[in-house]
Structure 1
Amino acid sequence: MASDGERYAFVAHWLDPHSSIIWKYQLMFFTADNSIAMYDIKNKRSFLKRTPYPSIRPEDLYIGATVTVYSRQLKVVGYDDEYTKKRLEHIQMTFALIKPDGVEKFGELLTEIYKHGFVLKRLKMCTMSPSEAREFYKPHSQEPIFEEMVLALCSGEVIGMEIIGDDATARWLKLIGPRDPGIANLEAPNSLRARFGRDKINNALYGADSKEDMERLRTLFFETPGFGKCPALQKDSTLCIIKPHAVLAGIAGEIIQHIMQSFNISGMESFNISHVDAAEFCEVYRGVVPEYTLMVQELSSGPLIGIVVSGVKNPVASSDCEGTTEAPPKTIVGIFRDFCGPADSEIAKIVRPKTLRAMFGIDKVKNAVHCTDLDEDGLLECQFFFKTHPKK
């Protein structure tokens, strides 16, 4: 995306949660060493001297992006100079949908999305009503199979996404291939519809075909109040969070694939939470674990994916207790906690090498996933993100 030694400049806003004042900054990114600097536009003074900041990468900076700098969530709202605009304006956002027949393979599909250079900005799992599906498919309303398309779209959960990449709309359409998987197998055998689709209606994926269509679909799916029904939270549920470091590393798809092989997922959505919200969520660990402050910093450092786990699909795999003599736990909270493994990934790699934290984590803070620890907290933690969280 960029060669060494370049400097990009953006306009970024920060909403002060205490005063509700929006502060405007010039955010500069230096590609030679992944360093950043900030300039306070209103007060006309330096706010942050140039400093290395490895958690921000060139691909994280685009119009509409949210990046976290020392616990401040900055929204990138524009380019600050013509050079940056000319160099980066080809970075686009597009809308992508996983249809009901493709949801079971979402982990594999998300891995393909990362593999082909896209960045996940936003996602939401929901179900559509017939009227919502007709509005979604409005450009296809004159097609003979329109009602069949609507019926298929209403047959189960869908997952909508905003993804970012070079010439994103055209590249996404090329990646998914022709609408008819039969034709896709002949013309684009490596396309996602050729590999995961069944027929012209149940072809696993959908994509916007223009900038205008992208804006229509993302506004409809993400910004329209009440659009898409999310399943009611059940008492026998537990929360999984794919942490920001894992999302940014592009391994969320692999993690989701492992979870879906053994568990039922009834809710999934991406979030960017503030330092204050992260501290509230982690309050139970304050004074209990020495890594509390670092845990809060990690959860508020970038996008995370919240998942409601609501049942066991594969008891043999999900209750694997390798390395322990304890009987398999009986509640969904305990079963999934056991599936995730010890909190410290370095320990997990030794005593429970097949668990999520052993396979995808780094240490006790960047351990890939958070899971509910106590049986009585399963529903409460799910509600924090999927019911009461103020900023989805």
Structure 2
Amino acid sequence: MSVLGFELEWFDEVSGILQTLYLKFFLDDNTIEILKGTSTFLKRIFYPEVKLSDLFVGNSITVFNRLFLIKKFANKATTEYMNAREVRYLCRIGRDNLSQLGKLLIVAKNVGLVLGKVVTTSSSFYSSILAADQGDVVIELVGKLCTNRDALLKAIQVPSLSSVDAVMASAQEIEDALRSCGKASFRSQNCTLCLVKPHIMKSQTTGELLNAVTASGDFQIKAVFSIHMTLSMGEELFEVYRGLYHNYSAMLEHMCSTPVLAVLVTGTGSNADYEDIVSSFREFVGPGDPALAKVLRPESLRARFGESVVKNSVHCTDLPEDGEMECRYFFETLSSL
């Protein structure tokens, strides 16, 4: 087989119309073409940000600043090809053990899995494949070209992942289960937002970064939520930086290029009610320029994981008075969409 077909959904923010398009992925040279009906929407090109590993049902991709949701395989041949090579897991981590999330993502990467959707449950639920309590985190993991389809089930049988449940499931079963989770709800005070940027998600170093946050001993993860932001969502969040950030346009484009992971962070133990968690976490994240961070704060997140001013690993809340507002924007406003 030389060409795969995928049905896409695209919301045109200008016209306000939800459109159905079709993407062709050419296996011989990894090029793509997008059709609108029988007409060409995007002529065949090589677009390096779209890889075969990105093309699974439920995932979203960005091509020239347009966000496309992959709804389904477009034909029987593609369905058979992808199903023969794809494995999916749905995992659950208890709300009191979210420090294990980073470890799970590292293990998943090591067995060839990529991160799909992530939600924090708003209430207890039971589906045909998984049960979870309020505040638990449910994670979709997807693998391509997997020769050992139960590799994750074996890999999580270690004490450090004792609170992780995992089950293999179909795309439809996972979609139904995630819908049963409800939307993440905002329940914290004295919190700050950590937004894991697209380049970290694409390079699959999200697990190492989250491990660094919890291993510090000063911070704990209370909720997580994955979303592919549109340009309008990004503009609403980052509008205050427009006149302050000389790379604003590049930063905004990067933040909307692939899904990001929103992480609600609080203090630990006796510091759980620490009122200046925003400033404390911002100091832990480090200066905005990773090159400067490597000199001034070599143990900071941006020194360890940042690549450039735009790709500096994470966005974190800047001002103490904005911590609750930014968390509420993701874990209340965006999660309800």
Residue of structure 1 aligned with 2:118, choices 114, 123, 127? 123
Partner of 2:82: 88
Query: What is the 5 A alignment of 1:375-390?
Result: 375-389=320-334
Query: What is the CA distance between 1:248 and its match in structure 2?
Result: 1.3
Specify the SS of the correspondent of 1:387: helix
* Distance in 2 separating the partners of 1:391 and 1:37: 32
Amino acid at match of 2:194: C
Partner of 1:299: 255
Residue of structure 2 aligned with 1:276, choices 223, 232, 241? 232
Q: 1:159 to 1:117 in 2, by over 3 A?
A: same
Partner of 1:250: 204
Residue of structure 2 aligned with 1:158, choices 132, 136, 158? 136
- TM-score, normalised to structure 1, is 0.75
1:342 aligns with 2:256: no
Specify the SS of the correspondent of 2:72: strand
Specify the SS of the correspondent of 2:308: coil
Partner of 2:93: 98
Q: 1:247 to 1:391 in 2, by over 3 A?
A: farther
Amino acid at match of 2:303: A
1:175 aligns with 2:120: no
Specify the SS of the correspondent of 2:13: coil
Confirm or deny: 8 A CA contact 1:96 1:161 kept in the other structure.
Answer: yes
Query: What is the 5 A alignment of 1:216-295?
Result: 216=173, 218-220=175-177, 222-224=178-180, 227=182, 230=185, 232-234=187-189, 236-262=190-216, 263-295=219-251
Partner of 2:166: 207
* Distance in 1 separating the partners of 2:79 and 2:117: 23
Residue of structure 1 aligned with 2:304, choices 359, 372, 376? 359
Residue of structure 2 aligned with 1:192, choices 144, 150, 156? 156
Q: 1:360 to 1:24 in 2, by over 3 A?
A: same
Query: What is the 5 A alignment of 1:25-44?
Result: 25-31=21-27, 34-41=30-37, 44=38
Partner of 1:324: none
Q: 1:289 to 1:209 in 2, by over 3 A?
A: closer
Q: 1:126 to 1:83 in 2, by over 3 A?
A: closer
Deviates most, 95-104 or 59-68 = 95-104
Confirm or deny: 8 A CA contact 2:137 2:223 kept in the other structure.
Answer: no
Which digits, 9 at most, give the CA deviation of each residue in 1:358-383, with x for residues without a partner? 11111011111001111111111111
Specify the SS of the correspondent of 1:89: helix
* Distance in 1 separating the partners of 2:335 and 2:137: 21
Q: 1:80 to 1:388 in 2, by over 3 A?
A: closer
* Distance in 2 separating the partners of 1:127 and 1:276: 26
Residue of structure 2 aligned with 1:21, choices 14, 17, 28? 17
Query: What is the CA distance between 1:240 and its match in structure 2?
Result: 0.4
Amino acid at match of 1:247: M
User: What do you get for the CA RMSD once the two structures are aligned?
Assistant: 3.1
Partner of 1:318: none
Q: Percent identity?
A: 29
Aligned pair count reads 332
Query: What is the CA distance between 1:20 and its match in structure 2?
Result: 3.2
* Distance in 1 separating the partners of 2:292 and 2:100: 30
Confirm or deny: 8 A CA contact 1:312 1:332 kept in the other structure.
Answer: no
Amino acid at match of 1:192: I
Deviates most, 78-87 or 367-376 = 78-87
Rg (Cα) greater in structure: 1
Which digits, 9 at most, give the CA deviation of each residue in 1:198-234, with x for residues without a partner? xxxxx422223554xx7556524x2137x48746131
Partner of 1:180: none
Confirm or deny: 8 A CA contact 1:261 1:313 kept in the other structure.
Answer: no
* Distance in 2 separating the partners of 1:389 and 1:229: 9
Specify the SS of the correspondent of 1:207: strand
Which digits, 9 at most, give the CA deviation of each residue in 1:282-325, with x for residues without a partner? 1011122111111111111111100111115699xxxxxxxxxx
Confirm or deny: 8 A CA contact 1:100 1:204 kept in the other structure.
Answer: no
Which digits, 9 at most, give the CA deviation of each residue in 1:254-298, with x for residues without a partner? 111111123022221111111111111110111221111111111
Residue of structure 1 aligned with 2:102, choices 73, 98, 107? 107
Deviates most, 293-302 or 260-269 = 260-269
- Higher strand fraction: Structure 1 or Structure 2? 2
4+ residue stretches of structure 1 with deviation over 6 A? none
Q: 1:94 to 1:105 in 2, by over 3 A?
A: closer
* Distance in 2 separating the partners of 1:229 and 1:348: 33
Gaps of 5+ in 1: 141-149, 178-190, 198-202, 316-328
* Distance in 1 separating the partners of 2:91 and 2:186: 21
Specify the SS of the correspondent of 2:112: coil
Query: What is the CA distance between 1:241 and its match in structure 2?
Result: 0.2
Confirm or deny: 8 A CA contact 2:9 2:20 kept in the other structure.
Answer: yes
Specify the SS of the correspondent of 1:208: strand
Deviates most, 342-351 or 92-101 = 92-101
